[in-house]
Structure 1
């Protein structure tokens, strides 16, 4: 492997991080919003969200990606590989985030909401100051796990031409007829990314535990 080959893999790593961060940044709040709609028990909206989430969770990411990439242009909506990748990742991961958030909301004791409303707190303030901090803490391990999964499924985007870490390693292996070295480099990049994500989770958990102990 040459120096330029290593740079190509790192360029793919930047693409992987960019798409993953975009999918996470968009999917988290969208998933939370859908979970709140279902938790709020608005009849028509909650049912629609439930069907939407079920369909997305049942759809393979590669199928969703191809449907967006080839289907939207037929409807007059031009979309490039990167945009299609971000949209597919966001739609896919937001459905799983929705279920993670909803699980935490269902476990949340509604008595706390009733007590807060009894002392005059508005519903929006209750959500912001009471509900969200607690469900964020309980959902953190599952959310980080879904983030890790999202990063590890980004090679699927190569099917529409997105050059991520794995796609770059495959290309270099095919050009040099030495497939193992590029994959060693790719693995050496993936592991620190996932490790950093898990380390942030553990740091947040330790910090929260210290705050609770001092309270």
Structure 2
């Protein structure tokens, strides 16, 4: 491949990395918020959030992207392709990550929370000092898996015109009539990005194990 062709795919990789990074930063806290609201069992709100999570999880991601870009303008929310892609990625990952957070919250020993409240700690302090440090460690592996799925979902945003890695590789293959080299490069880039995520998970887990006096796996 020529340098301009490689540059085109690298530009697509930057778009993929940016979309993924922004969506991760937005979706994981949003998923935690959804899980906390459902964990509190607030009447009506719990049912609405459960319905939202169920619908988003049941909707194919390509359909969700098309819904955000083509249907939401009918209710007054018209977005350019990149913001629409970020919104779809964020909503999808927030719905799935909320179930991961919720499972960790449900497994959290309630007697710890009750004991902390009995000692006069506020709900905010109980969450930040006792609950969250434990549930995020328990959720780290599943959340990283969900993030890798987010990364592999990014090719779907090409349907609304976002030029990410796969779309860029397709363009290069169509122009050069040699589809194999650009797709091999795209595969390599995806592999590197996912390897970085998995490696980061391992580093964090080992540091936590050392801090807690456990033997790292």
What TM bracket, shorter-length normalisation? over 0.9
Aligned length: 214
Please identify runs of 4+ aligned residues in structure 1 that moved more than 6 A: none
Question: Residue 95 of structure 2 corresponds to which residue in structure 1?
Answer: 95
Q: Residue 74 of structure 1: CA displacement?
A: 2.7
Question: Residue 53 of structure 1 corresponds to which residue in structure 2?
Answer: 53
Question: Residue 16 of structure 1 corresponds to which residue in structure 2?
Answer: 16
Instruction: Tell me how far apart the structure 1 counterparts of residues 29 and 179 of structure 2 sit (CA, whole Å).
Output: 39
Question: Residue 75 of structure 2 corresponds to which residue in structure 1?
Answer: 75
Correspondence list, 1:198-213, <5 A:
198-213=198-213
Give the match's secondary structure for 2:44: helix
Question: Residue 62 of structure 2 corresponds to which residue in structure 1?
Answer: 62
Moved more, 92-101 or 36-45: 36-45
Q: Residue 75 of structure 1: CA displacement?
A: 3.0
For residues 158-214 of structure 1, the C-alpha deviation after alignment (integer angstroms, 9 at most, x for no partner) is 000000001000010011100000011111111111001001100110000000008
TM-score by length of 2: 0.97
Instruction: Tell me how far apart the structure 1 counterparts of residues 208 and 141 of structure 2 sit (CA, whole Å).
Output: 13
2:108 paired with 1:108: yes
For residues 40-61 of structure 1, the C-alpha deviation after alignment (integer angstroms, 9 at most, x for no partner) is 1112111111111001100111
Instruction: Tell me how far apart the structure 2 counterparts of residues 159 and 95 of structure 1 sit (CA, whole Å).
Output: 22
Instruction: Tell me how far apart the structure 2 counterparts of residues 107 and 74 of structure 1 sit (CA, whole Å).
Output: 41
Q: Residue 73 of structure 1: CA displacement?
A: 2.4
TM-score by length of 1: 0.97
Question: Residue 5 of structure 1 corresponds to which residue in structure 2?
Answer: 5
